[in-house]
Copies of this chain bind each other. A is one copy, B any other.
Amino acid sequence: MSQGFRHILETFENQYPDRDYTIEIICPEFTSVCPKTRQPDFGTITILYSPDKLCVELKSLKFYLQAYRDVGIFYEHVTNRILDDLVAVLQPRWMKVIADFRPRGGITTRVTAQYRAEHP
């Protein structure tokens, strides 16, 4: 299932591959569904990365994140799955995904996951 939405992500060629630079993307409109209660969850997804040969096209990223709208998935898993999909498609030098979820039962949650290429 992990490859489910990966095909939605589009890329464009990084015209500056010789430079080590950083891209930060903040998406405060993420929503998915709790796998236990089927109730909607709401959160903010923040993505930081240094591109190698490819950059993620932002409109396709929006559609990729919208694809989770009806998916039942735990906070912890969705954070890692977004990281896995973006790493697979972009092959970045490094990437970090931070997911901040709104309170449920009085409890707020943040999940952070990171990737670093082996031969940078």
Interface centre among A14, A39, A58, A69 (most CB of B within 10 A): A58
Check A25 against B59 for contact (C-beta < 8 Å): no
Q: How far is the CA of A107 from the CA of B112 in the complex (A)?
A: 19
User: CB of A88 within 8 A of chain B?
Assistant: no
Q: A76-B14, A105-B58, A107-B58 are in contact. Are A42 and B29 (CB under 8 A)?
A: yes
Can you name the residue of chain B whose Cβ is closest to the Cβ of A105? B62
**Contact pick for A107, options B14, B62, B108, CB 8 Å:** B62
Contacts of A25 in B (CB 8 A): 107-109
Contacts of A61 in B (CB 8 A): 107
A window 62-120: CB within 8 A of B:
62, 66, 69, 74-77, 79-80, 83-84, 102-115
3 pairs of A and B residues whose beta carbons are closest in the complex: A21-B113, A29-B106, A16-B80
